[in-house]
């Protein structure tokens, strides 16, 4: 591996710190603003240099998927990149169109899950799930296509509006339970579709 210049080392450390703290790679604009570069080209040049020197890698066609590569890569535990498809209300259901807004890099062993191509993440908005220790700003990791069980936390469409709640199967009825007494239980008027079952939670640090 080629030696890094002082500035390249600083850029690498900035990217790594942001990934560890927020789970997201900083954009070129954020890199340029942090270091006072006059243009995005300067930030892009540093990123390309780090890629050429083998300390950064990315996955084609995925936004914000740069990942720091350790020279001891072979000794590290597996890391998976999970797409973040927008946010989901943990409160009153809302009409939403989910768009990919980044990528979450996680240590697979530490979370105890095995991501698949159907694994995705959503950012929580609201406090209706605090009884399950799911807070506003957290990232929930979900699996699409898994058969939900009674008591699972799910991302669901209820009467065409999305929400994150606990699934309840009771005497042939299916409904959603809030884990905060300030919010009502949700009984579908016509349709309830589970989009994903929660597999893990990543707490976002604030401040």
Catalytic residue among 65, 87, 165, 178: 165
Q: Which neighbouring-strand residues pair with 103?
A: 83
Catalytic residue among 65, 87, 105, 128: 128
pLDDT at 16: 82
pLDDT at 182: 93
- Average pLDDT of the segment spanning 55-59: 75
CA 19 to each of CA 60, 121, 156, 164, 201: distance values in angstroms, whole numbers, following the listed order: 18, 15, 28, 25, 16
pLDDT at 160: 86
Report the range of poorest mean pLDDT among 67-71, 131-135, 172-176: 67-71
% pLDDT > 70, the chain? 82
Residue 71: how many CB atoms within 10 A of its CB? Answer: 9
- Average pLDDT of the segment spanning 187-204: 90
Supply the mean pLDDT for the chain: 82
Q: What is the DSSP string of the chain?
A: -PPPPHHHHHHHHHHHHHHHHHSSPPPHHHHHHHHT-SSHHHHHHHHHHHHHTTSEE--TT-TT--EE--TTGGGSPPEEEEEEEEEEESSS-B-------EEEEEEHHHHT----TTEEEEEEESSTTGGGT--TT-EEEEETTPPP-TT-EEEEEETTEEEEEEEEEETTEEEEE-SSTTS--B--SS-EEEEEEEEEEEPPP--
128 is annotated as an active-site residue? yes
pLDDT at 86: 83
**Cβ–Cβ under 8 Å, residues 126 and 91:** yes
CA 128 to each of CA 61, 165, 181: distance values in angstroms, whole numbers, following the listed order: 34, 8, 8
80-129 pLDDT, tens digit each: 778 888 888 887 665 555 555 677 777 776 677 888 889 999 999 999 99
pLDDT at 74: 40
178 is annotated as an active-site residue? no
Residue 73's pLDDT band (cuts 50, 70, 90): very low
% pLDDT > 90, the chain? 40
Residue 191: how many CB atoms within 10 A of its CB? Answer: 9
- Which domains does the chain possess? 6-74 (1.10.10.10), 79-202 (2.10.109.10)
Residue 45's pLDDT band (cuts 50, 70, 90): very high
Q: Provide the whole-model pTM.
A: 0.61
């Amino acid at each position: 591996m080629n030696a890094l210049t002082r500035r390249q080392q600083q850029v690498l450390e900035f990217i790594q710190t942001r990934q560890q703290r927020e789970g997201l790679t900083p954009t070129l604009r954020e890199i340029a603003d942090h270091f006072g570069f006059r243009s995005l080209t300067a930030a892009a040049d540093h990123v390309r240099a780090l890629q050429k020197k083998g300390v950064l890698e990315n996955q084609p066609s995925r936004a914000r998927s740069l990942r720091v590569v350790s020279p001891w890569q072979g000794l590290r535990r597996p890391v998976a990149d999970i797409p973040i498809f927008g946010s989901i209300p943990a409160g009153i259901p809302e009409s939403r169109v989910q768009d990919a807004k980044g990528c979450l890099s996680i240590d697979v062993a530490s979370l105890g899950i095995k991501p698949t191509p159907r694994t995705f993440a959503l950012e929580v908005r609201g406090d209706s799930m605090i009884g399950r220790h799911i807070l506003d700003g957290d990232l929930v990791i979900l699996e699409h296509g898994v058969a939900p069980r009674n008591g699972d936390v799910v991302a669901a469409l209820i009467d065409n509006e999305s929400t994150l709640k606990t699934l309840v199967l009771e005497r042939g009825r299916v409904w959603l339970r809030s884990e905060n007494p300030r919010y009502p239980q949700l009984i579908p008027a016509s349709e309830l579709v589970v989009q994903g079952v929660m597999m893990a939670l990543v707490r976002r640090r604030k401040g």
